[in-house]
Each structure stands twice: as structure tokens, then as C-alpha cells.
Structure 1
Amino acid sequence: MRIYIAKYGETLRNIAQRQNVALEELVPLNPQVASPDANLSGRQIKLPPPSASAGNRITDFKNEWIPLTPLTRMAQTDYDVLIVGSGAGGGAVLWRLCQQWGINGKKIGVVEAGDLLLPTHFYNIPTMSHPRAGRYFEKVSTPVDQTMFRELYAFGGRTLLWGLLAPRMPAFETADWPLPANELQFYYSIAERAMNVTPFYQKGSYFTSILLDRLHNYGFIDAIPFPVAVDQEATKYGQIHSNAAFSSIALFAEALNRRPFDLAVNSRAVEIITENKRVAGIRVMSADKKSHVLKAKTVVLAASTFQTPRLLLASGITGRAIGHYLTTHSLLGIAGYLDRKQFPEVLGNLGIVIPAREDRPFQLGIDGPPQGYNAYQQYQIEPLQEQLRIVPGAFGAVESQFENRVELDSAVRDEFGVPVIHVHFSYSKKDEEVIRQMKEGTLQLLSAVQAHPGEGGTFEVGPAVEAIHDSGTCRMGNDPDTSATDRYGQIHGISGLYVADNSVIPSSGTANPTLTTVALAIRTADYLIRQLK
């Protein structure tokens, strides 16, 4: 028998997780503990003796850098909130619930279809340069039905490899959304603090400051440095800030330090269970194809723009807008060159964004050197260049069209028995006009920063493609005919069933969507807290 002294805030449930002991073993050994979720700070807890082979099975636990819970154990729990997906939206909901609830006896569970992949954002891994990460993403992600979109099935989702740009949507782009403008701004401010968004990432960089001056003098007076989700706090007072680049794993880490929750990976949600127009739980398949029913008062879907409507439709939950209004951003880049002699020897990094306006339906951005604004990760030694190649780009607003959709193919099913999806997406005439304006605006930007064409005498214009900024397939709104959820992300007609990923964003706007997803997810979590008092 072993004796363990519980640390501050620990419960029998998270002691079981951290000591890799089944909760069912701990309960009879500690009859003095009234509840598995009671605060045990400073109390003596009896643990079973280690098994004979313990200490030699490193391979059994090498990936358990976060406590995991078997589905068999989760199937024995009645959850107050069950979250499907661990990306930006799922992580934000979990973080907010744990932050606001603390140790209160509520039970939270999370299921993730993918496995543990990276323990942090790739920028935080010294061996993972930007080009190498691009190749890595192509290997580990999955293309979506002959589109430019890609999905990443892994704990943390696409936040493991996102670009960290976190601008707010301009107010005119959210004017028709079903929430007050001041409320959205409030939740943007919470999301920015949670994600460590800073406008000072390029502070002191001559590259950024010189080109900002050129843009302002030319007339782009709204040009600003990139708002980037990077923790710039230095290590001090013995507190290490090594997890600089943000991913949802940072939210899971903070949540874990506040209260226990259950997490299962390699756990594919295949059916939403409802009773009398109210959610009752989900059915999950493990990697070995065993089925488990998890019970919950509230279910939050954060599986992705494609997988959330797929799960809803496969569960027989219908709504005219579910799966429809798929949108994204059109993306266009144009390459130009700057004379290196115009800049100091110590160049610095470049990161500038020009938000959209009502008369400019696209966001302009420019970064560099060639490796990108995150070029501090490039350790290659290169000779001083005579010309600096820059590739300004634009994200264009894409019209929300009912015909752009995700639909099930009931004739073809995946390995878990769920119908596969087909994605229908095309640009409207309005979108094509925006793309034309994007080209014109990007050429103006190149002129403003005094860039010139390459050897061919013309600027290199890239093709207009869909950015991996998919959204809209479960968008929020007041009208069930044109929206899948209400203003708080609850599916119309199903009490207790919520959506908190990119799919809930009502319209594309022009800003990178991750900050907006996190802000809306935190708002949904606050609503859940009020409902579950």
C-alpha cells in the first residue's frame, strides 16, 4: 500500500488520472472520501501497490503528457458538459468552464477523434522549421473531397499548425450577426488575453516600421502590425514562458491546472443521442471499433466545419441550414522585390495587416523575409541578398450561398459506419468581382512599399485559391430557415446541443477566423454556465 498527500485542488478523480490508477480501485481504498470530485488538499490518500512490471513500460506511457481517460470509464459517468473536438473552439469552451467553475463537482468530458500528435504549436519545437512544418502538415492532414480545404485529426486540431494571425473582424462585417457589437468586442478582449494576442511582435523591426511608414504616406493609414498570438513574456520569478506560440493545448493545460476533466483520444463520435428534443449524450467508437455511449446533459460540438454538420446529419438531426452556407476566404498573392540597400543591415521581421473597409471587401497582409514573419526559426546561413522578395496577399470576403454545402453520401460509409461527405463549393459572381479588386489592391500595396517586378518585368500573380478558413456550415442566427443554431450556438429545436467551432461563424468576413471562433466559444461557455446553475 502507498500513501499519497493530495496537492492543492486535487480530487480522487484527477489523482487516479495522474497516478495511472483506475478510479474504481481508489474509491474502496479511501471510503473516507465522500465524492470522487471533492477537494482533498493536504489529505492522505491510499494508493494500490505498483504492479510488478511498473517502471519498465516506458513505451506504454511515452505519449501521456496529458492525462487520458478510457472510454470504458467515461461511459460510467453522467457528464454535465461533453465536448466533441479539441481544436480552438473545443479548447476555448473547456478553458472557460474550468476557469469559471473551479472545483464545483460538475463533470466535464472531452472526446477527440485523433491521437496525440504534437504537445505544442510547431513554432515551439526547435527542430520544426516553417518549410519543414509545411511538409509535415501535408503528411498528417487530410484533404477534403477534392477541395483546397484540409483537416487535421489530432489533439489540438489545426491550432497545432496555424499561422497565429489573430485580427478582429471589422465591425461592419459583423453588423448583421445575432449578437450586440459591444458584446462581441467584450469577448474578443477575453479571447485575446487567453491567446496572448499582441500587436508588438515586430516591435523594433526596421523592416516593419519602414514599410508601415511607406504605407501610411501612400494613403493606407489603417495599416497596422500583425496581431499575433504569441506569449512575449520573458521568463522571470522562476516562471518559465517556453510555450510562446498559441495552440488549444495551452487552453487545455490551464484548464487542467484548475480542475479535473476527462479526455479520450482516438475516440470518434458517430451519433448524437436525443430524447424528446433534448440531447442525452453521444455514441463514440474507439480505435478498435468498440461502441460506447457517453451520457451528458449538454453536448458541445467542436469537430470542424465539415465534421460537425456531418455528425448532426448522420444522427438524423435536420435543419434547412445544417451543412449549408459553407464559406471561406479567397486568397491571392502577388510577388515583388525591394532593394536591400534601402534597409539597415539588421533587418528584422515583417508583419503588417490592412483590415477591410466597406469599400474594400478584402484584408491585405504582407510578411517577410521570404520565410515569413516567424523567420526567427530559420537557422540557415545565407548571404546578404541584393533584392528582398515579398509576397503581399489578400483575403477576400466570400458570399454565403445556400448551394455551397456539405452533404452525406449514404451509399458510402467510413470505417466507423458513418456516411462520408461530399463538399460543394464555388465562387459567385460577387466573389469573382472581389477577387478582381483583391488583385488591384495588392498591386497598389506593392506600389506603396516601393516594390518592383522581377526579371520578367511584371509582378508574379498567383492563382486565387480557397484559404483554409472554412466556416458557416452551422452558422448562428435567429431564423431556423437560414441558420443552424441560435445566437448562443444552440442547435434550433434541440435543447442542450451546441456548436462552438468555425462552422458557427455567420459570414466569412475578411479576418483570419481563429480569434473569432475562440471569442464565440467563450461566449457560448458563459451561456452554458448560466443554464447549468
Structure 2
Amino acid sequence: MNRFNLDDEDVVVIVGAGAGGGTLAMRLTQAGRKVVLLEAGKYRTNDSFVNNEAWAGSHLIWNDPRTTSGDHPDVLAFPGVPATMGRGVGGTLQIWTGLTPRLKAHELRTRSVYGDVDGAGLADWPMDLDDIAPYYERAEQEIGTSHRHGRPPMPANNNYKVFANGAKALGYRLYATGPYATNVEPFDGRPGTIQDGFNMQGDRTGAKWTTLVREIPRAIATGLLDLRTDCQALTITLDAAGRADGVVYVDPDGVRRRQRASVVAIAGNAIETPRLLLMSAERRHPHGLANSSDLVGRYYTRHVTGYVLGHFERPVHMNRGENMAGILADEAKHEPARGFVGGYYLETVGLGPVAYATLLESVHREGPAFTERVEWYSHTAALWICGEDMPMPDNRVTLDESARDDFGNPIPHIHLDQHPNDAAMRNHAWDRGTALYEAVGALETTRAYGLPSGHNHGTTRMSADPNTGVVDEFGRCHDVPNLYVSDCSVFATSAAANPTLTLLALVHRQADHLLGIVSG
């Protein structure tokens, strides 16, 4: 692996080695560009993962302190850790579930289709589905998505069989075990699934696609990637013309360094990316870099979520098999007669014992009601709600100047309120999930709010008009022409689909733009 000079003016500096940063690094290095990839976490190999929720929570998660405010149920339940984001090479992909649905056409036109929703800042994306479609195709083919491009479907586990039978009984039609980003059979140098549960704590086999197992190694193989781990980015610097010319970071020895850059791309996450832009305020950008619109950090979204647990007389063993290989799309539509705008998916989920107990505790608190249901673990099926939530301008990430991290910088403050549309959607989804399990003989069901969110977007939303967004359709900052954002914070709205596939499509499109393949 090369080690480029700190003063090398030809390198592209990418901050963050997750889905977006890893993919962009591969694309650029394979095209002959030199890349310095800064990652705040460690470089772990798959065989170092431990199938243990507590271990994963302390080793793979971004656990830096945050402060919170607002009335959202997730913030009230988890004020110290309101969001679950991965830290390390592979980013949140180290712990992701693997479902890869595409966005729908109406979800890119929410302002036009949904109309004026009181209290919400809906926006149309500055592109349509035809612009993204070829990049969806590329991403699905590269990660080996099941159910797509001739790839076989994921085999059904017991959790899915219960789910599918309930869906059929209710008259639903659009349910399947994918699309799913884990190999059903060997593909692209990776093995097929062994149907191991608990791989949200890191997939030891490498059957599940991540940039850790595919894009990063391919970028390294070019000889043009300089991957620097345990390096926390602090600020982005500008030259006299107002262009990004470097990134200041702290290296593993605690030394502050500055890497010169021809282009900078931030692929942190929907919290750390706006934080970095806000911390990079300078004379020409007194309120934060790329923030002339005052929208850096605003319109933070994270999906409407919740759980339904179905408790049965016979064993289910939901933990066996791929964690989330089951999705029902019939409710992912815009049908205001249901009492809300936008739609949602129901998705199977194999909960580990710690997550299962955490959900039960949020409902039953303690005593016999709690302990009895803990003992039902092997007889429980579970589904998760994933729905479009309403972007609100005051749901945002700001800097908490009263609290500092280990480097002396202000920590992120997250304000999150719940929109009435979100509550109405969750109630509808709870009712349908409950009915689904009751239709196949559940003795009892449990409804619970979500765990800390793993889907986080907004905060540097894209727009055609510089006054209504932070970046353009290619993720290029309106205010700084060679500064890009390459993560889910560019989403103009959340849509209902799990976000990773859309992010990959956007980053492939961004790479084509940087390489001069597409213009705009």
C-alpha cells in the first residue's frame, strides 16, 4: 500500500471507509486516481468478528458521546446513543442487515406528490428514477443481490415462513426473502451463506457484501490507495480561491496532521458529516462550510420504525438464518386514505437475546410479565417496520459547545421530534403486523418502539437550488465546487426503503461525475 506525501497535491481525500467512502475509493483508484482514505476506526478482518452483541456494541459501533433533545420515542428511550452507526473499515456495513430494495418514483417527488404536509419540509430530489436506474443495476450486480439479475433467492428460514404465511392470510402479494446482499451461493470470490444468525455483529464468513470484503481490498490492489485508520478528521481547509485543499486530522499517535487534497469527499455519516462541516467554519464560511443555505445539519431523518413480536406455541427460532431475509412491500405506497402520506415496509428480523430483552423491557419493564416473555425467545417471530418519515427543519445536528470530545472539539447535539404523520404510520404498521401474526395463530403479540436507529439520512440534503440544499445531484457542495458528500446525509427525503442500495447507486453516479463520464 502506498503512503502518499502529506503535501501531495494530486490526491483525493475521502473521509470515512464505509459504504460510500469505500465504493468511491475503489472507483477512483481503479480509474488511476490517487486516494487517501481517512477512517476514524480500525481495520478488522472478518475472522476477528465475535458473534456477541455486547462485543459488537463496544467494538464496531460509533460510541462517541452525543447530547440529545426532542420528543421522539427513540431519543427519549436512548438519549446517549440515539443512532447506531458503525466505526471502522466497512463502517455501518459491519453490522448491517443486507436488505436492498430500490426507491420508488413517487418517493423522489414527495413535494409534488404528497403536497403540503403541515410541519414537514418535503422536497423533490433533483433527479428522477431514470437517472438512478443504471446505477442501481450496477450496484446490484456488483454486490450479488439475491432475486436480481439471475441470482437465486435466499432460502426461507422459520421466521420468514411464519411471516409469509401471515402475509398470505391477510391477502398481501408482495413478499419475498429479498433482495438481499448476501451470497446464496459462492459469488465474486465470496462464499455462500451458511445461514448463521447474529451476523449483525459482523459477518465472519464474508458471504454478506461489505466494502470491507470487496471494495477496499480492490482499491488496495491498485497500489493507489493510502488507507489511514484510527485517524479522526477535524476540519477541512480551503485555499485562497475558496476551494477545498486539505483535511486536518489526528493520527493514531495523537499528532495533528494536514493532508493536502485536490478534491475532498466526506463519507462520515448523517451525524459526523454535518459535524465536520460545522467544525470547518472559517472567515468566508462563518456558520460552517457549505452552509450558506443554513441547512447543514437540518432535515435529519431516520425512518419510522417499530417492532411486532409474535409469540407462538411451537418453536420458531428466529435467530437461525439470515437476520433480515424477508420483506413485504404491499404497504410501501402512497395512499393517504390510510391516514398518512408515504408508505412503509414490514421486514423480518432475527433478534439476538440482548436486543430481544431490551425491547421486552421497554414494554413490560420488570417482574413476571418480563421474565415470562424472555423465556418465550425460541417461540417468537419478529418483524420490523421501516417507513418514510417526515423531514422537519428543526430535526437537526448542531454543535454542543458545552461538551468536548477527546480532541477538544464540540460534540454533536441531535434534536429530534416526532411528526404526527410518523406516529400515524407506525400505528397502522403495528396493527398490520399484529394482524399478520394473529392470522397464523400467535398466542400473544408485543408491540415496541425501535432501538437506536441504524438508518440515518438528511443533514446535507441535495437540491438543484443552492438556497434549498447543501449539495447538488452529484453530492457536490453548492458553496465549494471540489467538496463532495458521499453518504446518506445527501438524501433529500428518507423514502421507505433501506438506504444502502440507493447510497451505492448515488456514489457510483458521483464517481462517474468526478471522472468526467457524466456531466452536470
What range describes the TM-score normalised by the shorter chain of this pair? 0.7 to 0.9
Q: CA deviation at 1:233?
A: 3.6
Check 1:95–1:420 CA distance in 2 against 1; reply closer, same or farther (3 A cut). Answer: same
Within 2, Cα distance between the matches of 1:364 and 1:204?
A: 16
Within 2, Cα distance between the matches of 1:214 and 1:436?
A: 18
The letter for the 2-side match of 1:128 is V
Q: CA deviation at 1:322?
A: 0.5
The equivalent residue for 1:219 is 171
Q: CA deviation at 1:394?
A: 1.0
Check 1:334–1:277 CA distance in 2 against 1; reply closer, same or farther (3 A cut). Answer: same
The equivalent residue for 1:301 is 266
State whether structure 2 residue 21 is matched by structure 1 residue 90.
yes
Identify which range, 411-420 or 273-282, moves more after superposition: 411-420
Deviation string 1:59-91 (CA, Å, 9 cap, x unpaired) is xxxxxxxxxx4xxx5303223421111011101
Q: CA deviation at 1:259?
A: 4.4
The correspondence of residues 294-443 of structure 1 with structure 2, limited to 5 A, is 294-316=259-281, 317=289, 318-319=291-292, 320-338=294-312, 340=314, 351-355=325-329, 356-359=332-335, 361-367=343-349, 388-443=379-434
The correspondence of residues 101-500 of structure 1 with structure 2, limited to 5 A, is 101=31, 104=32, 106-116=33-43, 118-120=44-46, 128-129=50-51, 132=52, 134-140=53-59, 141=61, 142=63, 144-145=66-67, 146=79, 147-175=81-109, 176-199=124-147, 200-203=152-155, 208=160, 212=164, 215-216=167-168, 218-234=170-186, 241=191, 243-249=206-212, 250-275=214-239, 276-316=241-281, 317=289, 318-319=291-292, 320-338=294-312, 340=314, 351-355=325-329, 356-359=332-335, 361-367=343-349, 388-448=379-439, 450-454=440-444, 459-464=445-450, 467-500=453-486
Within 2, Cα distance between the matches of 1:284 and 1:365?
A: 39
Within 1, Cα distance between the matches of 2:24 and 2:260?
A: 18
Check 1:486–1:437 CA distance in 2 against 1; reply closer, same or farther (3 A cut). Answer: same
TM-score (norm 1): 0.73
Check 1:76–1:332 CA distance in 2 against 1; reply closer, same or farther (3 A cut). Answer: same
TM-score (norm 2): 0.75
Within 1, Cα distance between the matches of 2:91 and 2:309?
A: 31
Q: CA deviation at 1:160?
A: 1.2
Deviation string 1:294-331 (CA, Å, 9 cap, x unpaired) is 11111000011111111111111123110111110122
- Report which of the two has the higher share of strand: 1
Identify which range, 515-524 or 353-362, moves more after superposition: 353-362
Check 1:531–1:408 CA distance in 2 against 1; reply closer, same or farther (3 A cut). Answer: farther
**Preserved contact between residue 175 and residue 328 of structure 2 (Cα < 8 Å):** yes
Check 1:230–1:348 CA distance in 2 against 1; reply closer, same or farther (3 A cut). Answer: closer
Within 1, Cα distance between the matches of 2:159 and 2:11?
A: 51
Structure 2 runs not aligned, ≥5 long: 68-78, 110-123, 192-204, 282-288, 336-341, 355-375
Deviation string 1:314-371 (CA, Å, 9 cap, x unpaired) is 1111231101111101221121134549x9xxx9778321121112621111245988
Count the aligned residue pairs: 429
SS in 2 for 1:281: strand
Deviation string 1:142-182 (CA, Å, 9 cap, x unpaired) is 16432421333322222111112222223321233211211
The letter for the 2-side match of 1:263 is L
Deviation string 1:183-233 (CA, Å, 9 cap, x unpaired) is 212211211122222134533657746753652453211112222211334
Within 1, Cα distance between the matches of 2:187 and 2:425?
A: 45
SS in 2 for 1:109: strand
Within 1, Cα distance between the matches of 2:125 and 2:426?
A: 24
The equivalent residue for 1:54 is none
The letter for the 2-side match of 1:203 is P
The letter for the 1-side match of 2:481 is S
Check 1:371–1:185 CA distance in 2 against 1; reply closer, same or farther (3 A cut). Answer: farther
The equivalent residue for 2:198 is none
Within 1, Cα distance between the matches of 2:310 and 2:509?
A: 42
**Preserved contact between residue 369 and residue 390 of structure 1 (Cα < 8 Å):** no
SS in 1 for 2:497: coil
Within 1, Cα distance between the matches of 2:406 and 2:490?
A: 27
Q: How high is the sequence identity, in percent, across the aligned residues? A: 26
**Preserved contact between residue 66 and residue 411 of structure 2 (Cα < 8 Å):** no
Check 1:321–1:293 CA distance in 2 against 1; reply closer, same or farther (3 A cut). Answer: same
Deviation string 1:356-405 (CA, Å, 9 cap, x unpaired) is 11126211112459889xxxxxxxxxxxx998421122112211010001
Q: CA deviation at 1:108?
A: 1.4
The equivalent residue for 2:120 is none
CA RMSD of aligned residues (A): 3.0
Within 2, Cα distance between the matches of 1:348 and 1:85?
A: 30
Within 2, Cα distance between the matches of 1:305 and 1:354?
A: 27
**Preserved contact between residue 331 and residue 466 of structure 1 (Cα < 8 Å):** no
Displacement over 6 Å in runs of 4+ = 347-350, 369-372
The equivalent residue for 2:339 is none
